[in-house]
Amino acid sequence: MNPDIGIYYGLAHDIASSMEPSLSYLSRDWPEVEAWRSLARGKVLELLDFTPPSAPLNPSVDSTASHDGVVIESVSYDMPYGPRTRGFFMYPEDRQGMLPAVVALHDHGGMKYYGKEKICWIPDEPEVLKKFKQEYYGGRSWATELAKRGFAVLSADAFLFGSRKIPIASLSDEFQRKFDNLEEGAEEYVLQYNAFAGEHEHLVAKTLFMAGTTWPGVFAYEDRRSVDYILTRKEVDPERIGCGGLSGGGLRTIFLAGLDPRIKCAVCVGFMSTFKGLLRNNIKCHTWMLYLPHLPRFLDMPDLLALMAPNPLMVQYDLEDDLYTLEGQRGADRKISMIYGKMGKSAHYSGKFYPGPHKFDAEMQEDAFDWFKRWLGKP
């Protein structure tokens, strides 16, 4: 297959091949892990270039329900900008004492109308969500399933998803006309919104770049704020917090686990490759959420996630995942293994390859749940 940018692929390939990430833990013998981590995290935060004014969370529990032994609280909290972030905070009805907690990060999936609902149980689930969960999650609401197993789980809407999506009424007439005669919430409206949001991504990314910041900077900040929220909860043991997610949730896991020392364990699903492995034909497969200018000069994708090392990390790869080359996935797996090995903590990393396409099915979920139980402690 010819490269996606034709004859100019050679230019990109030569640039990428001419450098090794200078802040990778493998780039040289760093005298102290913490000094390396502090330097590398500082560089990533500099590149993310997003530091909004401080603002209180003002958290609230807006309603409470229960389902299949799980308490499900609809919660919300403020960002310094935009509408309140809404999420589900879940824990077992028979809770005793403080629980290990997981920040469950929903995917991108080409579906921005919904966020947290894609991985959480909700009553009267729309057919469009059922189909989505069947394709990517084996028909399961994995965040709720994890809460059934004794964890406190927070799943909150990411920037531009669910409660944080762009209201159509706030857009120019050019975009509003696409929704004429459609009833909000109906399946046709949801599908139209998702199509619009995909086409609109380049405008969001370019506007943020032109403003002097980055899209990864925004979502990474908001995900760290979700940890701020979870630490307000009396149900949570603050020393036993993990995170995980599929696809776009895996991307969010990379930044959250890599940058936030409060995360003690992570499971990254269906989002791991070397950057070089994406260059030829796979850039088109990915959201603008991925792109952080100049990051590859300092850290490869596996290097960024491995900033959490030697804390326990599982990465789950799908062998027939069209978003990546198998070479890129295996290269990332080798690099993470080498980093953990260099730190003398090889047992703290598990890279697992599964047959099939891009997904986080029941088998993978159970492996992830076992990993959280092993390292965060049984509830």
Residue 292 to residue 150: CA distance in whole angstroms: 36
Q: State pLDDT tens for residues 329-360.
A: 999 999 999 999 999 999 999 999 999 999 99
pLDDT of residue 377: 86
Tell me which residue range forms the domain holding 274: 60-376
Indicate whether 3 belongs to any domain.
Answer: no
Please report the DSSP string for 224-287 in residue order: HHHHHHHTT-TTEEEEEEEEEEETHHHHHHHHHHHH-TT--EEEEES----SGGGTTTTGGGS-
Rg of the chain's alpha carbons, rounded to an integer?
Answer: 20
Domain containing 109 — which CATH number? 3.40.50.1820
Judged against a pLDDT cut of 90, whether residue 144 lies above it is answered with yes
In-domain check, residue 21: no
Question: Tokens for 333?
Answer: 């797996």
Question: Can you tell me the distance from the alpha carbon of 230 to that of 91, in angstroms, rounded to the nearest whole number?
Answer: 12
5 assigned to some structural domain:
no
**Which tokens hold the place of 92?**
């077992």
**Quick one: pLDDT at residue 7?**
98
- This prediction's pTM: 0.97
Has residue 42 been placed in a domain?
Answer: no
Q: Into how many domains does the chain fold?
A: 1
- Within a domain: 32: no
> For 235-285, what is each residue's pLDDT tens digit?
999 999 999 999 999 999 999 999 999 999 999 999 999 999 999 999 999
Residue 191 located in a structural domain = yes
Residue 54 lies in a domain: no
